[in-house]
Structure 1
């Protein structure tokens, strides 16, 4: 599957590249976690225009940004961004995945993450990092582990939100040939 250019459906769930028209739904999904959860350490929900700006910036840099929808309703989104800005890190990306608060348990996250991993491999990335906000975020941890991520470690009490200290759990997964051979060429872009 080439998630960036094909639409793939299964059980009426469509995973496709995000568009500007999706950013209102993306902002709503993300805003819920900003206000009520610990997967993100942001404390003020960005609006649709800010999410559109972020989306455009990532796509312009060659990163995949996907949404999952059922019957025209966006149920989740996933994207990758630069792991770190220094040039030697160009092969490594960091993923983010958010589901509508009522979309859990319907394999939306599984489909999104699988498509994101496949698209990252197609684009030549070699490592993907997941920084899971809150060591108690069992659903996200299980999702990533089921897709071949390995736990690298926990950063204890690095954030304070909703009246408590929050850990961040770092997970990593190789993509394509991983570190078994040098990259084919210079960084994209």
Structure 2
């Protein structure tokens, strides 16, 4: 018997093969972040600091820095959201913060979104951003900006564009991380 014939006989016909079990459904919920969530936020963010160019931070952020940022965003009544698994494990977070400190910019914010590596590509980013945009609008925000690195964050650019963000500018070679120059893409969305 030829090897090809042998292999063909070893394979069951499709109608006799056991069914492939379905993949478990990816479940999550979105809730307001609390001060108690900041250690998990710090861990996820610092993963991106150490391993990617998604953030141009080079040094890990401390828990004190995250607590301060959370207090600042909360004091301004801006949304800071968490995506959690059914067991309440944080799998992503998103928030907005003021674009600039000058008073005239008070209705313009910059968004930030970070997902756990195992939670990407499953619709979580879009759901989290939609909720962030809705809550930002309810808080009186009119313009949302996203500043995204031009190489290494293509998924983030696609996510923002899928939600109606438009590219409004680019800055070339403004950051230097992991021994290479990086630029940024500026995207903007008007909240009607």
In which range does the TM-score fall when normalised by the shorter chain? 0.7 to 0.9
CA contact (8 A) 1:126 1:175 kept: yes
| Structure having the higher Rg | 2
Could you tell me how far 1:79 is from its partner in structure 2?
0.5
1:168 paired to 2:184: yes
Could you tell me how far 1:83 is from its partner in structure 2?
0.7
1:103 equivalent in structure 2: 119
1:68 equivalent in structure 2: 83
1:41 equivalent in structure 2: 56
Q: What is the root-mean-square deviation of aligned Cα atoms in Å?
A: 1.4
Deviations 1:133-169 (A, max 9, x none): 2344111001000010001121111000011101111
Could you tell me how far 1:46 is from its partner in structure 2?
1.2
Could you tell me how far 1:29 is from its partner in structure 2?
0.7
Say which SS state the counterpart of residue 42 (structure 1) adopts: coil
Give the number of the structure whose residues are more often helix, by fraction.
2
CA distance in 2, matches of 1:150, 1:95: 14
Which deviates more from structure 2 when the two are superposed, residues 36-45 or residues 156-165?
Answer: 36-45
Following TM superposition, where does structure 1 have runs of at least 4 consecutive aligned residues deviating by more than 2 angstroms? 47-50, 133-136
CA distance in 1, matches of 2:78, 2:56: 22
Of the candidates 155, 161, 166, which is equivalent to residue 139 of structure 1?
155
CA contact (8 A) 1:23 1:49 kept: no
Of the candidates 38, 55, 59, which is equivalent to residue 23 of structure 1?
38
1:90 equivalent in structure 2: 106
Q: TM-score, normalised by structure 2?
A: 0.83
Q: TM-score, normalised by structure 1?
A: 0.84
1:183 equivalent in structure 2: none
Q: Number of paired residues?
A: 167
